[in-house]
Structure 1
Amino acid sequence: MNSAAQAPAAAGANSWARAPERSNAFALRVMTWIALTFGRRVARWVLHPITLYFVLFAPTARRHSRRFLGRALGRPARLVDCYRQVHAFTATILDRVYLLRGRLDQFEVTVRGGELIEQTLAEGRGAFLLGAHVGSFEVLRTAGQAHVGMRVAMVMYPDNARMINAALSAIAPDSKPDIIALGRVESMLAVRDWLDGGGLAGMLADRQLPGESERAGEVRVPFLGHDAPFSDGPFRLAALLRRRLVFMAGVYLGGNRYDVRLEPLADFSGRLSGPEREARIREAIVAYAARLEALCREHPYNWFNFHDFWREDAS
């Protein structure tokens, strides 16, 4: 495919990163003050007008939400379904206020698959935790630190949601999450050194990220009944650094309940030939998409990907 043909696809893939933030720093700080002054129960009531505003005045995100929910639920999505999805999203954002301050005692968190991480940490080679925009990564990081002592750095595009991250870091300056920025010359070495030190590198593989390597491409695989594009960048990075891939999710169950899941996805730690590596990468992408689809059908209101995931708007 020539570069002219690739350009529209790339633009659609990265448009979410260029979209203006709907976050408002002042509103977030007011919300934080309410949360810390009056407690989580009062703060959760404030989420309802915030959710209603987003559902009513964000038509593009609402359209994408209904498209996804219709496929995940197996029926046409209603406005109340969109409301439930957005409310779950705002609830996890609120909970980050407490989690960043180490208030895990306010939540009921179950951890499944912790023994897999314990085994990985015992080997001293680190691993990649591969997730999606499902539930809360923050609860996974906080619970992991408390239960199995894991150190997780997010490998991510750092400028997205910058106002949310700035507001939350302001209220918990001693609890800033470790972040390894993508798209920089030193990114690969930083990831390798972190893993060699026994750390875990978390990535979200359900979006095409600006600044990914030119070697990264896309693989279209079935997802909720339609072919969808998934970037092979995270999988190639794991294969290049010869590490394990562990599927991760911090599923929000409502109220103060979360379910942290850690499941084996792929193992690139052995030496592979070129053709074998390519086959294993595709197998891992297909397995990841299937795992994500099952999770979306089980907890459809937990997927917070409010953009044109299947790239159907352009067509």
Structure 2
Amino acid sequence: MTQPASDKAVWAQRPERSSMPVLRLMVWLSLTLGRRVSRLVLYFIAAYFVVFAPSAKRASRTFLTRALGRTARLPDGFRHVLSFASVVHDRVYWLRGCFDLFEVKISGEEHIANLRAEGRGIVLVGGHFGSFEALRVLGERHGIQAKMLMYPDNARMVTAVLEAINPALADSVISLGRPESILHAREHLAAGGCVGILADRTLENANDANVRAVPFLGEPAPFPLGPFRLAAMLRAPVVFMAGAYLGGNRYHLHFEPVLDFASITAQDRATAITTAQDRFVDLLQAHCRQTPWNWFNFYDFWHDTPR
């Protein structure tokens, strides 16, 4: 059921700052001119948003000041937006299977390999951090089919353009909020697949039972419990995933175990869920400090409340 506007978080109420013609133009330039030349346009796009998106600029400065441990300056904000633009731009090439364009380092691959050897499905939890599409590199190596659990209404125009690039994208998404969502996720995990979900953004009120305030970069922030309740329901192992963009054509994929719900009893489930969430937030915080330009929540993550 769709939530009324009054119950949705601020980030969910904001219109997308883009247009279909501009997005299609960028895709055409990317595929026609190649990655190196078309990347030049990103600098103008980043400059535009730094100048004409004041609320996003303030949110970026607030986050970067926390993550860097010093006052963020204008060049920091520009680098933050440019990293976001670069990751979005590179999705075109990931989706086209142009993996040879990138230099990718993988840490923690053994965690995935061990679970795969046991024939187990995996719940990958990440944040709006770096590139989820870079996971396709690991999928190619291990024969993993990863499906993303997501709200389909978010970034509809971008998704439409990317589906035009690679129609298989539609098959890699399981829409949340539908009666059959859990069944599809369970079937995919039972077949040894992976499902990914982003666990750093919530639609609910900060006082809702589905949200928990967890210390994050110096102050409690609202994080959704839903992703970990879902993993507990599916009795699946949870692995943290972050695909950090390091500039140029370099990416670094990180995989770290969070918690395996297969052995958790019903009476211990609530405690295990909060333990898993704490572990996720700790890992996300560490990566935000290590490569802060990769966290792409351009709103006041700590203080925004539903309107």
Query: Is TM-score (shorter-chain normalized) higher than 0.5?
Result: yes
Letter in 1 for 2:234: L
Q: 1:78-93 residue pairs with structure 2 within 5 A?
A: 78-93=73-88
1:46 aligned partner, one-letter code: V
Distance 2:222 2:70 in 1: 23
Tell me the equivalent position of 2:271: 279
- CA shift in 2, pair 1:271/1:227, >3 Å: closer
Aligned match of 1:220: 213
- Is 1:293 the counterpart of 2:288? The answer is no
SS of equivalent to 1:159: coil
TM-score of the superposition, structure 2-length normalised? 0.93
TM-score normalised by structure 1 residue count: 0.91
Aligned residues: 301
Q: For residues 82 and 131 of structure 1, do their structure 2 counterparts lie closer, same or farther at Cα, with a shift above 3 Å needed?
A: same
Divergent runs of 4+, >6 A: none
Give the aligned partner of residue 155 of structure 2: 161
Aligned residue in 2 for 1:3: none
Percent of pairs identical after alignment?
Answer: 51
**Whole-Å separation in 1 of the counterparts to 2:17 and 2:80:** 17
Q: Mark the runs of 5 or more structure 1 residues left unpaired by the alignment.
A: 1-6
Give the secondary structure class of the aligned counterpart of 1:230: strand
User: 1:242 maps to what in 2?
Assistant: 235
Mapped to 2, the partners of 1:181 and 1:174 lie a distance apart of: 15
SS in 2 for 1:23: coil
Give distance in 2, aligned partners of 1:100 and 1:175: 8
Match for residue 28 of structure 1 among 15, 20, 23: 23
Structure 2 residue aligned with 1:311:
303
Preserved CA contact (<8 Å) 2:5 2:13:
no
Distance of aligned partners of 1:186 and 1:15 in 2 relative to their CA distance in 1, 3 Å threshold: same
Cα RMSD (Å): 2.0
CA distance in structure 1 between the partners assigned to 2:130 and 2:162 by the alignment: 17
For residue 124 of structure 2, the aligned residue among 129, 132, 135 is 129
Q: Which amino acid aligns with 2:195?
A: A
Q: Deviations over 1:209-247 (max 9, x none)?
A: 47xxxx961111110000111111011111111111000
Q: Give runs of aligned pairs for residues 58-207 of structure 1, distance below 5 A.
A: 58-140=53-135, 142-174=136-168, 176=170, 178-207=172-201
Give the distance between the partners of 2:250 and 2:34, measured in 1 at CA: 16
Q: Choose from 13, 17, 33 the match for 1:18.
A: 13
Aligned partners of 1:127, 1:137: CA distance in 2, in Å?
15
- Match of 2:262, SS state, is coil
* Aligned partners of 1:235 and 1:284 also within 8 Å: yes
Residue by residue over 1:265-309, the C-alpha shift from the partner in whole angstroms, topping out at 9 and shown as x without a partner, is 1111114132x2111111111111111110000001110111221
2-side partners of 1:181 and 1:273: how far apart?
Answer: 27
Contact persistence 2:123–2:236 (CA under 8 A): yes
Cα distance in 1 for partners of 2:216, 2:113 equals 31
Shift of 1:58: 0.8
| CA 1:289–1:23: 2 relative to 1, 3 Å | same
Identify unmatched segments of 5+ residues in structure 2: none
Give CA deviations for 1:140-171 in whole Å, capped at 9, x if unaligned. 1x212221111100011111011011112212
Please tell me whether residue 302 in structure 1 is matched to residue 297 in structure 2: no
Task: Note the C-alpha offset of 1:18.
Answer: 2.4
> Which residue of structure 1 aligns with residue 52 of structure 2?
57
